[in-house]
Structures are given as C-alpha cells and as structure tokens.
Structure 1
Amino acid sequence: MTVLRSGFPHRPARSLATVAGALLAILSLLLGLPSAAGAQTPRRAPEPAHPGQDWAGSQIAKHEGTAVGTAPPTSGLAASVEGVDVSSHNGNVAWSTLWNSGVRFAYVKATESTSYTNPYFAQQYNGSYNVGMIRGAYHFATPNTSSGAAQANYFVDHGGGWSKDGRTLPGALDMEYNPYGATCYGLSAAGLVNWMKDWFATYKARTGRDAVVYTSTGWWKQCTGNSSAFGAVNPLWIPRYGSSAGELPAGWGFHTIWQYTSSGPTVGDHNRFNGAYDRLQALANG
C-alpha cells in the first residue's frame, strides 16, 4: 500500500471524486437545487398543513375585507331556499335544529387536495339527509399540490359522488384564495383554468354531472383573468356578505347559490338558493 508522508493511506482521486459527487447530489436533492447535470428536480408543494381550518369562504373575509354578515332582506326575491355549508370546524351539527329554523339544503366539505378527508363528514352529510335536507359535498382545491384529475378522483372516492335520488346535489369545487401561500397557487391564469377544466371533466366522467363552482368575483378576476369558460355549464355558488350577491364573474348571467353570511362555527355559513324549492330539486335530479 502506498503511504503518504502524513502517515495516512493514499486514496485514488477517482474515489474521492465519486464520494464528493454523491454528497453533492444528495445536497441538491434535499435543497431542490439543480443537479450537476443541470436538471431541475421537480418539486410539488407540500400537502396542506391545516386542512381542517379551510372551508368555503374561510379565505374570503381575509382577502376581500368582508365581515360576518346577517341575513339579507328577502324583498325582491321571487323565491329562494335557505341552506348552510359546513366542514370539520363545525363538528357534530344539530341538524334538527337547523331544519326547524327553515334550512332545507346543505353542502358539506368532503376533501382537500389528495390527502385530507373531513372526519365529521358522515355525521354532517348523512345527518342533513336524514332530517330531510337536500345535501351535497364539496372539495377544497389546492391546485399546486396535484392535478385536477387526481383531486377530482380523490373527491369522488371519498364522499363526493352523486346519485339520482332526488336529494343529492352535484359536487362543488371550492376555488378561493390559497391559505398556504401565493394567492393563485403559483399558477398562471391559463394554468388555473386548465386545472379546473381537468377537475370538472374528470368529475363528470365519474358521475355524469357538471359540478358547481364556488368562487368569489375578486379571486376569479385576479387568478383566472376573469375567464368566461365555465359560465354556460357549471352552476355558480358565490360568496358575498352583504345585501346582494353583487357583481358576478365573467360568463355567468345569474348565480345559483349565494353564500350571504358566515355566522361562526356552531351553525355553519348560510346560503340562499336562487329559485323555488322545485328548482333545487331539479338541480339535485340533474
């Protein structure tokens, strides 16, 4: 064995280079840096850290300056039906109490991304149905964590399906401000529109129904460029905590559901279906 004057064994230069290269590759992988060959390691956003705190409208007040509202006047409405939407932050819901107060339909959060399911989903989804309500499920979208198709499939597989039983509404896609970072999830307007097209197409292929889209006009303008691609097909569920639904996103001439107040964790957010009860039944029946 060749021995250096220092007294340590000599290691061939090739061996040292191999070790150094391996260490550099590991460091690049951990930090998401380009590798020695110049290739960028693809990176997905981490899965949501607090999905139980995300629900339809949870980010609207934070970004649009809306506050907890009260029931708007009913004057001028030809007909409407009262509803609520709930998620895990509402816990076990007293459905009989809501029914007795006049609530006739409910939307329940089922999923978020491809990793979260609402632990109270069964109590909320089945409980609303069992007291006589027309019910539906919704998915909180995180377009930076996986594809539209992947999230639609996850939604359908975890409570977001549809059946023509006369009391199940089509699923809804919740598109709102990102609770984890960049408002528009780091995607371009075209990228977000294509992501939604992927989600809606997959949902329809799985269920036969065109899903509802939940979104605010402010987010829609900012993040989709005020796309008019969905108004002719997907019913609009719009949040606005005031005396009217206000300006609608491009493509929609009217809203189907208006989330008019966020009343806190015990009773859920309140909504109004834009039409008589038989029209709500028609939406359920497809």
Structure 2
Amino acid sequence: MQAKSASNVKIIDVSHHQGSINWATVKSDGVQGAFIKATEGMTILDDKLEVNAKGAGKAGLAIGYYHYAHPENNDPLVEAAWFANALEGFPAQFPHVLDVEGKASTVGGDQLSEWCLTWLQEVERLTGHPTMIYTGASFAKTYLNKQVAPFPLWIAHYGVETPMANSTWEKWSVFQYTSSGNVKGIAGNVDINAMELDFFDKHVHLPKSMRDKEYMLKPADANKIIPFLSAAYKATQDPEAREELHRLANELRKASRQKER
C-alpha cells in the first residue's frame, strides 16, 4: 500500500447520518467529490440519497454511490438488483461501490469473496458502469482474496499515513483515513478520503466513451498478449526481468477482470 501524498484529491462520503448538507459550502472547503450512500441489504434505501445526489451535483462535485452489503443474510444478485434499481436515473462519475465489512466476516473468506465478485459483476451488467470495493484494512487482509483483486480498492484505516498491507491489492485508489473529519457545510463529523489523482482524472475528466474503453479490456484480447510475455519469461534467466514480465501479465489479467497467477 502506498502512503497519502500531496497530489491526492479530497473526497468525502456521506449518508443520512450527516443530516442536511450545504453542498456549495462543502465544495468551498476543497472537497472535489463525494460518495453517497444509496442502499443497504435488499430493502433499505437511504432517505438522503436523492437530496444529497441533487445537492452535490448542483455544487459541481464528482459523485459516486455505495451499497452496504449484508452477505450474511442475502443473495448477491438480489442485493445487486436492489442497488441498480435504486440508482436508475442518477448520474455517477466514480465507480459504484460495494461496502463490505462488519457481520459480512461471518460468511468466511472464499465464500465472501465469491459473493462480492458476483455482486460486482452483476451491478456492472445491470448498470453498464464500473464497480469497486470499500472495506477496512484489517478486513481486506483477513477476508478478501484474489477473486476481487481486479476491482479498485477503497480502503479504510484511521490515524495512519499508509494503510495496512494485504495480499490481494498492491495499492489503493481511495483511502478513508478518518471518520472524524470536519468539513464546512456539514454539522458534526464526516469521513474524509484521499483519492489518487490518476483515478480521479480517469473517472471525471475523460469522456465516458474513453473511460469505458480504458476500463474494460476484453479477456480474449489480454489472452492474446499474455503468451508473448510468458515466452519472454521462459527465455530469460534475469530475475528482475522475469519478475517484471510476471507483473505485466497479471496487470493484463486484472485489467480484463481475470484472476492473477
């Protein structure tokens, strides 16, 4: 995991817990985007979803939406459909987010990762929009395996400059580093996040057609390139070159939503 840096973009995440928000004032405090809670489980709709979405959009913030999962109780396809239906007509720049934490741990690592993968893929299918995962640093290390490694990571770890490492992701795209931040326009505490600038630029500044083309590498295309890397790997005895060729092959697998090797 990388540390926070000065180039990171200031992002908040909100739900009904923040009450009434003055979004224009939020933006004046240097916030450039917001993740807004949309749904939970298979029946709960956040009662501030619509007002937060309209307010943040009117203020000119980039927007994403998240779903708090209950895999310990529900089928992933049902929860995916509930989230996708709730967001119909709501524009989003950031990927749709699966929030997995808490009692989800009772499902167990491999089964939980499979549940998450099914939800992520189904939401992409239903919405035509990319997805990502939010979770705590310790939770990621303990419960989430390589099945979900191709999806961007939004990680939570408070009071540190560098979040705890895990064996599934090498880097984060978004880092929630405090749950007790203060932002003008919001009464009380709010989560504050650092977003990597390249991730922000990819999802906000590029036209949607270019974002989709960049985001979705077809597995068939990736698998046409990987054999050339594998041949070069076998042909060289240089340990550094072999390591780099292996890394590049896995980057192609991740970009095309395939498991790393």
Is the structural similarity TM-score above 0.5? yes
Q: Flag the 1:118–1:162 CA change in 2: closer, same or farther, 3 A.
A: closer
Comparing 105-114 with 154-163, greater Cα deviation is found at 154-163
| Residue 283 of structure 1, CA deviation | 7.9
TM-score with structure 1 setting the length: 0.64
1:184 counterpart (97, 105, 120): 105
- Count matched residues: 201
1:282 and 1:253 mapped to 2: Cα distance?
Answer: 25
| Residue 243 of structure 1, CA deviation | 3.2
Q: Structure 1: where are the runs of 5+ without partners?
A: 1-72
Q: Does 1:198 align with 2:118?
A: yes
Where do 1:272-283 residues align within 5 Å? 272-275=194-197, 277-281=200-204
1:162 and 1:280 mapped to 2: Cα distance?
Answer: 16
Where do 1:1-286 residues align within 5 Å? 77=5, 79-159=7-87, 163=91, 168-178=93-103, 184-185=105-106, 187-224=107-144, 227-231=145-149, 233-263=150-180, 266=188, 268-275=190-197, 277-281=200-204, 285=208, 286=211
1:280 and 1:96 mapped to 2: Cα distance?
Answer: 22
Contact 2:98/2:131 (CA < 8 Å) preserved in 1?
yes
SS at match of 1:229: helix
Normalized per residue, which structure has more strand?
A: 2
Contact 2:141/2:168 (CA < 8 Å) preserved in 1?
no
Counterpart code for 2:98? L
2:77 and 2:195 mapped to 1: Cα distance?
Answer: 28
CA RMSD of aligned residues (A): 2.4
TM-score with structure 2 setting the length: 0.70
| Residue 245 of structure 1, CA deviation | 3.2
| Residue 140 of structure 1, CA deviation | 0.2
